[in-house]
């Protein structure tokens, strides 16, 4: 699928078929995440693949946005490994994870797989469920699967509203 078709087709999919995506598809999606650029190439992120019924169930106590997906990715970054800007110590790990997340959801779209980026969660609960220490910040959950219905993405602002030339 051509790039502009992919970004046009991607939407937040919230209804999935029962069947889990294949390992081959999952690996392509993970590879797309691994190709993401990161600040200073520090690659401070981890992608946790959640497929076991037990952990999927536990996760639904930490967010109501699992949508019954059979595969959920969790993108987190390690604050001891991420780039902090010298002047103000701002942590760019979440920025890195956002790009990883974006590349994976777009790769999924190109394979006909639906995704939703989810940040509304009890982060401490998610960390406990996955056994993550304090050095981790959970940046996104990505429920994914074959879409149950055809969807389209939400309406966007006009270009004039978001772009300013100076």
Contact positions toward ligand FMN, by CB under 6 A?
Answer: 11-12, 65, 116-120, 153-154
Shortest Cβ distance from residue 120 to ligand FMN (Å)? Answer: 3
Q: In whole angstroms, how close is the CB of 23 to ligand FMN at the nearest point?
A: 26
* Nearest distance in Å: CB 13, ligand FMN: 8
Which residue, 11 or 42, is less far from ligand FMN as judged by CB?
A: 11
Question: What's the token pair of residue 121?
Answer: 């969660």
Asked if residues 77 and 26 have their Cβ atoms less than 8 Å apart, the reply is: no
Q: Which residue in the block uniquely carries the two structure tokens 């959950």?
A: 141
Q: To the nearest whole angstrom, how small is the minimum distance from the Cβ of residue 7 to ligand FMN?
A: 10
Please, what's the b/e burial string for 80-111 (b: 16 or more CB within 10 A of its CB; e: otherwise)? eebbeeeeeeebbbbbbbbbbbbbbbbbbbbb
Q: Looking at beta carbons only, is 41 or 154 nearer to ligand FMN? A: 154
Instruction: Identify the CA nearest to 111 among candidates 103, 121, 123, 100.
Output: 103
Residue placing its CB nearer to ligand FMN in the complex, 22 or 96: 96
User: By C-beta, is 87 or 123 nearer to ligand FMN?
Assistant: 123
């Amino acid at each position: 699928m051509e790039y502009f078709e992919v970004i046009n087709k991607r939407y937040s999919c919230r209804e999935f078929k029962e069947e889990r995506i294949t390992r081959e598809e999952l690996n392509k999606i993970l590879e797309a995440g691994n190709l993401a650029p990161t600040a200073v190439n520090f690659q401070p992120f981890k992608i946790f693949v959640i497929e076991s019924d037990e952990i999927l169930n536990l996760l639904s106590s930490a967010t109501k946005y699992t949508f019954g997906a059979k595969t959920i990715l969790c993108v987190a970054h390690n604050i001891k490994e991420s780039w902090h800007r010298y002047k103000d110590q701002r942590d760019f790990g979440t920025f890195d994870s956002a790009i990883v997340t974006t590349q994976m959801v777009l790769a999924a779209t190109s394979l006909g797989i639906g995704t939703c980026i989810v940040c509304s969660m009890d982060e401490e609960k998610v960390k406990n469920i996955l056994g993550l220490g304090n050095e981790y910040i959970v940046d996104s959950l990505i429920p994914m699967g074959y879409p149950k219905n055809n969807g389209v993405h939400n309406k966007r602002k006009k270009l004039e509203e978001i772009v300013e030339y100076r």
